[in-house]
Structure 1
Amino acid sequence: MSKIPDNVVYSEENGYNANVLAYATSVGAPAIKMDNVIDWKNKGVRNVNKEFETKFNELKVQYEELMLEYEWNEIVYNAKFSFEPVIGEIYHLYLGKDGANFLSLIDPASWNKEHIGSFKLNSNKKWIHLDSKDDNFF
């Protein structure tokens, strides 16, 4: 029948083509091992999840800082004051006897009022809180 031994790769169409095949063709060839794709995927998922978690935590901190700025601005803009604040000047927020907040130019060391915080008005009309120790006011 066939004069070619069983361990030789030969076909009528391609001839002797063992050297171009993507798989082993003899007993002495190295074993074919499947790559462990599951470990690669798991590592990738862990790395990506860690990156997402880090970015989420950064955004969470930024959001909390933004909300704190918003709350302070809300308090200052709702306080009583009868003057037009000047950009770049420092103003002080106090609690009045009637329980309402009021804004003043007078320094807390100059009188005996309950000082809530000191603020500076920036060019965007946003109040910048200068007393970081008072951030626990809320």
Structure 2
Amino acid sequence: MPPKSGNYRIESINNQRDLLIQINWVSLDNEAYYSQYEFRPDGEVHPFPDKVMADAIKGEIENASTITLSFLKDDQEVLTVRKEILSNGYLKITQKGTKPDGTAFRNIDIYHKQLSVLPYASSVGSVAIRPTEEGMIKHKALQAMEEQTNMQLDQIRQQIELLARQATEIRKRKELSMMIYEAKLNFQPVIGHLYYLYQKKDDSYALSMVSPKEWGGTGPFKQFMAAVKLLADHTWAEVGESFTNVNE
């Protein structure tokens, strides 16, 4: 049945000899389901406890990113499940088998990196799994956990982005301040006042109270660099004024 959302978990157990598969999902009809089973990925046939589903199970690790499972009933494969980690980190689950009426089916689900099924996953009904109270409780708990952790991670990401922007702004102010303090000053700058940074013909810098508009261009300088303001911490910040260079 097509899943609307869900979680898929694979972990090692029994001293890493066996693998445990846990799946919980919500159908398009908003019914919660839960299923789990164990298998040994040694390529050998082992008894399967849920006789309604299968008599035996055979698991094999094909390579570092692929596991294949075969469910057998009366020595016949009734379901083959291939779990593959794709190059983009997604988990692809392919199920092939035969329904009780003898017709074949194929079912593919794609899970994103947080192991939640994508909304466009396709599915055709296969093994009958009934909703249980345990499945409902586990799914709701996992869904709430995922929502909360995603929200917290998003808040941390926003804080990191803010700190990165602030760090970039401080670095720019520092570079501009170093340039100005190395420039020629014929006056004592006042905090909060607007000044104009120019590059001289010898490529050194000079700070002036006269704007390019008042000069009618760049005046005696090679080019206008920026309109700047002295802040209370004695760093300099570029302000958003623009002027036309007389050489353009």
What does residue 33 of structure 1 align with? 133
Secondary structure, counterpart of 2:133 in structure 1: coil
Q: Are 2:148 and 1:44 aligned?
A: yes
The Cα of 1:123 is off from its aligned counterpart by 4.0
Partners of 2:240 and 2:184 in 1: CA distance: 20
Pick the aligned partner of 2:187 from 83, 92, 96. 83
**Larger RCO (alpha carbons 8 Å, 6+ apart):** 1
Deviation at 1:133, TM superposition (A): 6.0
2:236 maps to 1:127:
yes
The answer to whether the Cα contact below 8 Å between 2:227 and 2:241 also exists between their aligned partners in 1 is no
Distance in 2 of aligned mates of 1:76 and 1:133: 18
> What displacement does 1:126 show?
3.0
Structure with the largest fraction of helix: 1
Larger Rg: 1
> For residues 63 and 124 of structure 1, do their structure 2 counterparts lie closer, same or farther at Cα, with a shift above 3 Å needed?
closer
* Residue among 153, 163, 178 paired with 1:74: 178
User: 1:106-125 alignment to 2 at 5 Å?
Assistant: 106-109=210-213, 110=215, 111=219, 113=221, 114-125=223-234
Moved more, 120-129 or 56-65: 120-129
Equivalent position of 2:160 in the other structure: 56
TM-score with structure 2 length normalisation? Answer: 0.37
CA deviation map 1:7-46 (0-9, x unaligned) = xxxxxxxxxxxxxxxxxxxxxxxxx722113222222221
The DSSP-based 3-state class of the residue aligned with 1:79 is coil
Task: Tell me if the contact between 2:174 and 2:235 (Cα under 8 Å) persists in the aligned partners.
Answer: no
Is 2:212 the partner of 1:103?
A: no
**Higher percent of residues as strand:** 2
One-letter code aligned to 2:204: A
CA distance in 1, matches of 2:190, 2:145: 58
Separation of aligned partners in 2, 1:33 and 1:60: 46
Q: Residues of 2 paired with 1:88 and 1:47: CA distance?
A: 40
Q: Which runs of 4+ in 1 moved over 6 A?
A: none
Three-state SS of the structure 2 residue aligned to 1:118 is strand
- Give the deviation of 1:132 after TM superposition: 6.0
Structure 2 alignment gaps of length 5 or more: 1-131, 244-248
Shift of residue 96, structure 1, vs aligned partner: 0.8
Unaligned stretches of 5+ residues in structure 1: 1-31
Q: What's the C-alpha RMSD, in Å, of the aligned pairs?
A: 2.6
Give the structure-1-normalised TM-score: 0.61
125-134 vs 55-64, greater mean Cα deviation: 125-134
CA pair 59-124 structure 1, distance change in 2 beyond 3 A? closer
Per the alignment, do residues 133 and 71 of structure 1 end up closer, same or farther by CA in structure 2, a change over 3 Å counting? farther
**Matched residue pairs, number?**
104
CA gap of 1:53–1:86, structure 2 versus 1, over 3 A, is closer
**How far has the Cα of 1:127 moved from its partner?**
2.3
